[in-house]
Structure 1
Amino acid sequence: MFKLRGHHLFCLLGYRGMGYSQEYVENMTLLHKTLRDNPKTRIELVKGPDQLCEKYPNSGIYHCQDDNIYERDAAILEKLGLTIGQIVNWEDIELLIRSYIIPSDIQSVCKSCSWRSYGVCEEGIQEILDGKGLREVTSVNKQNLSNF
């Protein structure tokens, strides 16, 4: 079982092998691949830093504790009808996304996210809506995108 905060449910949809550091990318890729290959994987929804935040590089400001991140977590969980402490299979999260989310939701719910400009999260939502599941990440981008 993985422990994830609300906004990471959307981050996984847009994940394309890029991240804040090599260690972060490796961790995110492992989680993403596990969910893609095993959609019955259980997710415990947590408040605050989760298993992805554990690998966020210690390079100054720790955004995982930022108030606007908590607000994004809450907004995404609310849109999906989920609550902190709930345990749900990844395939059920995908079903909720198909029921309650449209690609343009990224523009409002994730408006302050530095990754939003890439457009990959909207693509990821559309792929879920089309029944494709998580996109396969074939190679890990080893570039450290420390400006995010």
Structure 2
Amino acid sequence: MYKLRGHHLFCLLGYRGMGYSEEYVKNMTLLHQTLRENPKTLVELVEGPDQLCAKFPNSGTYHCQDDNIYVRDAAILEKMGLRIGQVLSWEEIEACICNSVVPSDIQIVCETCSWRSYGVCEEGIREIHEGKGLRKVQ
């Protein structure tokens, strides 16, 4: 079972093999591939730093503890009708995305995210709506 915070549910949709460091990318890729290949994998929704934050590089500001990240986590969980402590399979999370999220929501709930300008998270949401699941990372 993986432990993930709210905004990382959206980050996984947009993940294309880029990240903050080699170690972070390796960790994110492994988690992403596991969920892609085994959508029945369980995910526990947590408050604060999670298994992806654990590999955030120790090179300056540790944004995983920033107040605005907690606000983003809460907004995403609320948008999806989910709560801290809940355990769901990745396929259940994808169903929640289909039922409660549209691509343009990224512009609002992820307004301050530095990755937003790439457009990959909106694309990921569209692909979930199309039944494609997580995109294969090259």
Q: Is structure 2 residue 47 aligned with structure 1 residue 47?
A: yes
Letter in 1 for 2:62: Y
Letter in 2 for 1:13: L
CA offsets 1:75-106 (integer angstroms, 9 cap, x no match): 00001111000100000000010000000000
1:43 is paired with a residue whose SS is: strand
How far apart, in 1, do the equivalents of 2:137 and 2:84 lie?
28
Structure-2-length-normalised TM-score: 1.00
Structure-1-length-normalised TM-score: 0.93
Letter in 1 for 2:55: K
Q: Specify every segment of 5 or more residues in structure 2 that has no aligned partner in the other structure, as ranges.
A: none
1:48 is paired with a residue whose SS is: coil
Letter in 1 for 2:36: R
Aligned twin of 2:71: 71
Aligned twin of 2:134: 134
How far apart, in 2, do the equivalents of 1:69 and 1:56 lie?
14
1:88 is paired with a residue whose SS is: strand
Paired residues in the alignment total 138
Aligned twin of 1:27: 27
Q: Specify every segment of 5 or more residues in structure 1 that has no aligned partner in the other structure, as ranges.
A: 139-148
Considering Cα pairs closer than 8 Å and 6+ residues apart, tell me whether 1 or 2 has the greater RCO. 1
Letter in 1 for 2:60: G
The within-5 A match list for 1:88-127 is: 88-127=88-127
Q: Which runs of 4+ in 1 moved over 3 A?
A: none
Identity of aligned residues (%): 76
2:31 is paired with a residue whose SS is: helix
- For the aligned residue pairs, the C-alpha RMSD in angstroms reads 0.3
State the Cα distance separating 1:28 from its structure 2 match: 0.1
State the Cα distance separating 1:118 from its structure 2 match: 0.2
Aligned twin of 2:16: 16
Letter in 2 for 1:59: S
1:126 is paired with a residue whose SS is: helix
How far apart, in 2, do the equivalents of 1:77 and 1:18 lie?
24
